[in-house]
Structures are given as C-alpha cells and as structure tokens.
Chain A
Amino acid sequence: MKQHFFTEEHDMFRKSVRDFVIKNLVPHANEWEEAEDYPKTLFKTLADMNFLGIRYPEKYGGMGLDIFYDIVFYEELYRSRMPGLCLDVMVDTDMATPVLFKHGTEEQKTKYLTKMIKGDAVFAIGYTEPNAGSDVAGIRSTAKKADGGYVLNGSKIFITNGTWADYIIVAAKTDSAKGHKGITLFLLDTKTKGFTVGRKLKKLGHHTSHTAELFFDDCFVPENMIVGEINKGFYYIMEGFQTERIMGSVGVIALAQVALEDAVNYAKERMTFGKPISQHQAIAHKLVDMATQLEAARQLAYHGAWLLDQGEDATKEISMAKLNSCEVANKVTYDAIQVFGGYGYMEEYPVARAYRDARMFTIGAGTTEIMKEIIAKRMGLY
C-alpha cells in the first residue's frame, strides 16, 4: 500500500534490509538472546551494508538521506526479534552520535563520526547516574579544568553499549553551582586511564543489549574532546532527546508490530471449541484493537519524525509520540500474550520476550511521566 512518507526507493531499501535481517540475524536470535550477547563485529557488518550512516552526510561516509530511510532500517532490524541488539545499534547511530554531528568540531567529525559510520568504533552516551535519571540537571559527575583539558570524576549507570563502547559522550558538571547551566559534554576515549566498566547489568528484558555501570576516576579529557561549548551540555542533551525519542517510538512500535503479527498468525491456527480462536469475536476484536492502536501510534510517530526532519521544533508532538507509542506497545505485547494463552507465557515463544522488552520503553529516553510533564508545559498548564 502507498504510504505518505515512503517512496519506491524506501520500499526497495526495506526489502534489502529485510532480506539481510532474515539471512543474517534471525537464525541467531535464540542463541544470542540466550547468551545475552552477540559479536561486536556485527557493527562492521552493518556498516558494510551502509546502515550506520543513513542520515549523516556523505563526506563522513554516510548516505545523506532522510529520516524515513533510518526508520525503514530500524523497523526491519526489529524483525530480528532482538530489541536489545537493536537498541545498541540505535544508541550508536541515533542517540550518541547526533550531538557529535550537530555540535562537534570538524576534526571530531572526520576523526570519530566517520569511525562509527564505518563500524570501526561503537559509541555510547552517558547522562544517567545513580542519583539522577529524569532529573538530568542533578548529575554529580564533575569535570575540573586542568592543564590542556579537564579531569573527569564520577559514575554513570544503565549505559547502553557501556560494556564495549570505544567512545562515550559523557555529561559532567563543569560548574557545580549552576544546575542545568553547568553541564558539559565530553567525548571520552574508553582507553583513557582511570575509566572502568563496572558490572554488565542483568535486565528484565533487552537481554542482548550491553548495559553497564561506568566509573571515572581522574580521567583526563583533552580540550579538543569537548563537545560543543562549555556549560551547554544540558541543552544539547534535551535537543538530542528529540531524535532519541522519535527513534525509540519507531523501535517500540516495530517490536509490537512483530508481536501483533505473531498473534494474528497464531490466532488463525489455534483451534478451540471447533474453530480458530481468530473467529471468536473477543479475540478478533482484541486483535483489531491492537492493530488500530498500533497504526495510530505509528502515524503519530511518522508525523513527529517528519517534523523533526524538517527542522521544526516538534518537542510537543515528539513527546506525545513517545508517550503514546510506548504505552500502546506495552498494551499490545500484553494482549499478544493473552492471545497465545499459556504458550505466550513460555520462554520459547517470542511474544514472552516482546512483552518484557517493551517494558523498557516507558522508562528509557525519558519516562512516561516526564513526557506528560513536557506536554503539560507546552499546553500551558504549568
């Protein structure tokens, strides 16, 4: 069917990604989910397919294409049924590096962004700390001015790609007295002395994702690794959240879409009381509701993505898309398990995994409550 935001080229690209995912990822899904790991060389494989720099300019090795190519890529990548792996890749391309592209120096871009696009380096971004998540301004990591650079101290938690990142965009206080006006972003090489990775964190879902706790003990970061201007980090993070949230919405919808398709197929096969359960009206209507809500969520996310791509301030629409898609996807994966009955509760059925994996999205990249706070302000309620 024709879709407003997608051309014939997008469709061809979708086919390529889908074929790639079916051949190269799907066969490993159970093994990698079980191992809670996958080979880091996957980034190189994806880069060789030109998947990692879809929206970045050609001069950095990217493709310079619109956001909907990126969306196509992630919608299809989620068909691998490894949302953890998808999150790792998404953090690399659309959550950690956009700030580098937007505010980094030309030297930083040619040296580091190109490495990400080539699959030669994996990126993470760290703002969350044990004492500050939603309240980004409350972070306690510090960066003190030293000769030729800054010295980082503190810790970060829940950092995606944290276990194996080659570079991390770290938020730290350069002026502790100033709250959100005292945060600066640094590009930290993880080979820097004083940097250590704590535990790889065990999670409810997103098992293939490499989530870790990080420690900085007198890590020296040279001047030329400051991202953007001093004390502007908070604003860069808030700006970066827009891309994060729209891509997160796309991800969770794609995840739920797979669960929905699984449920529909199962409902057509599973017989009770002499007919397929899809022909019991309660199940049919449930599937209809799931499909309808998901479609509505998807269209709002596409709209937000389009606004973002046009360079509009779409904070309200994007927050609405994030709020809505994450809640809808949780309901859809919940209902998918209901359609599967007891089988849905069994680990060997992928809907069980989808349900757990969806749960992360109302928290990561800004919680549902924080989305409502943003929207409330934009509605002039506070």
Chain B
Amino acid sequence: MKILVTVKRVSDPEAKLKIKPDGSWIQTEGVKFVVNPFDEIAVEEALRIKEKQTGEVVVVSIGEKVVTEQMRAALAMGADRGIFVNYTGSYDSYDVANILQKVVEQEKPDIIILGKQAVDDDMGAAGFMLAELLGYPQAAFASKVEISDDKKKAKVTREIDGGLEVKEVELPCVITADLRLNTPRYASLPNIMKAKQKPVKEVTVDALGAAVKPRVTVKKLTEPPKRKGGVKVESVQDLVTKLKNEAKVI
C-alpha cells in the first residue's frame, strides 16, 4: 500500500501575526513556521494505515527550499521519503491540485491523504480539485478511515452537520483529514535522527509538466476590525431594547 501525503508549511497558529505595511502578506520575520496541523493528522493516518498494511508513506511539499523543514518533520514522524516540488512563485489551490496530479501520475499511490484545509489561508479546496482532476473517488473531512481486507476499498466516516456519514470509496482515492481523525504522534528521538538520512527528491514544476497559472490572487490583507468592549445591561428589558434598536437583530 503506497500512501501519498501532503505537507504544507504554515505560520504557527499560536503566533500573533502582523500584516505587512503594504498589505501584500503577513510579516514573516520572527514568525515560527510549522506543519499545517491538518496535514500532521494526515501523516499520522497514513502511518497508521502503513503500520497495519505494510507499505510506504511518501510526503509531498510545494514551495521554496524552507518547506523541506516541515517535510523533515513529517519524515521524523515516520514517513519514508519525500518529494519536494521546488517552486518560488505564487499559486492557488488549483495550481496545487495540478502539481499534485502530476506527482500522483508519477507515483501512483493507492491513497492520497491531505489535510482538510491549511490553517493559513483556510481555502480547503485542493483536495476536492485534485480528486476531480484525477477522476478519483474522494471522501473529505474524514474522522475515521478503515481499509478493507482486500485493500480495494476504504470505508470513511465523515463528520457532517448533525451527524456522521459513512462513505465507501474504491482505491485509489483522495481523503482529506479532519480534526478528530487521530492524535498525531510525537516525532521520537530515534526517528528524528533517522529523518536526515531519508531520501528527498527535488523536482521542479516544469519537470513535472504542471501548469501554474494562479486564478486566485491575494489583493490585500487587512486586520479584522477591533472588537469594541461590551456593555453591561441593567435589565432584560434593556437588553431587548438594545438588541432591537442598536444591534437590530430582533
């Protein structure tokens, strides 16, 4: 069983971000970068499937050289090897799906697992687009994944509004990982030391034959409006009046 997992480098969700004065992007100086938390869950799931089935876990990261730091972190969790797509321009979800499609065509994995979204731009689109481009069945927002004994199907439980939905998809397929799918393991010290020796193949977008033509571009980032302090109301009547006249919600 070969499993391909995506790992994106994102700013630490705990960090307090500042926007660049020209509003083009966030200020990255002094900001810590981490593996997108949903991708970490995706890696964990891939490792669990591998441990049950035997096989290989391959990590893909796209971006500048620095993204290999996060790829190493995934290798330190236990993934077997990495594919680093060296690309320095801007890209959107569709570009990512295009690049991944080419990687999948070369690698022919049985399962592709992505985080359901990256916590930096929260687009949550690449997984769907990739499945569409590949013509593969997909199960998004997985909270449980079970591989059939004959390794031909995956039973995926998804969290949907008001309950759970169970989907059965044929392999190869695309799965996106939701928060409650698992708790990612700590990279153990022996695995951290081994990660350095694991092979990482560097490829370019051109060599893959992928087209990158962003259709979505970031025009400007702005801070959310500052929240004003609340007020204490004297009585229920007061509250109702304010909700009606000031907040205009009732």
Contacts and interface: CB of A to CB of B under 8 A. Distances in A.
Interface of A: 1, 8-9, 12-13, 15-16, 19-20, 49-51, 54, 63, 65, 69
Nearest to A50: B189
B186 A20 contact: yes
A50 B190 contact: yes
Contact of B187 (A15, A54, A65): A15
Contact of B195 (A12, A19, A20): A12
Q: Which of B34, B190, B192 has the most CB of A within 10 A?
A: B192
A16 B186 contact: yes
Nearest to B189: A50
Chain B at the A interface: SS class: helix
13 contacts: A8-B72, A9-B195, A12-B76, A12-B187, A13-B189, A15-B187, A16-B186, A20-B186, A50-B188, A50-B189, A50-B190, A51-B189, A54-B189
A1 B30 contact: yes
B188 A12 contact: no
B69 interface: yes
Given A8-B72, A49-B186, A16 B30 contact: no
Interface of B: 30, 34, 69, 72-73, 76, 186-190, 192-193, 195-196
Top 9 nearest A-B pairs (CB, nearest first) are A16-B186, A50-B189, A16-B187, A12-B192, A12-B76, A9-B192, A13-B192, A63-B189, A20-B186
A12 B190 CA distance: 12
Contacts of A20: 186
A49 B30 CA distance: 30
Contacts of A65: 189, 193
**Which of A16, A49, A69 counts the most B-chain CB atoms under 10 A from its CB?**
A16
Contacts of A16: 186-189, 192
A49 B69 CA distance: 22
A240 B189 CA distance: 26
Contacts of A9: 192-193, 195-196
B72 A12 contact: yes
Contacts of B186: 16, 19-20, 49
Contacts of A49: 186, 188-189
Nearest to B72: A8
A27 to B, nearest CB: 14
B84 to A, nearest CB: 14
A50 B187 CA distance: 11
Given A1-B30, A20-B186, A15 B73 contact: yes
A54 B189 CA distance: 9
A8 B75 CA distance: 13
B246 to A, nearest CB: 26
A8 B65 CA distance: 14
Nearest to A11: B69
A258 to B, nearest CB: 16
Given A1-B30, A8-B69, A51-B189, 19 more contacts: A9-B192, A9-B196, A12-B72, A12-B73, A12-B192, A13-B187, A13-B192, A15-B73, A15-B187, A16-B187, A19-B186, A20-B186, A49-B186, A50-B188, A50-B190, A54-B189, A63-B190, A63-B193, A69-B189
Nearest to A69: B189
Interface centre among B30, B72, B188 (most CB of A within 10 A): B188
Contacts of A69: 189
B11 to A, nearest CB: 15
Nearest to B29: A1
A274 B34 CA distance: 37
Contacts of A13: 187, 189, 192
Contacts of B188: 16, 49-50
Contacts of B195: 9, 12
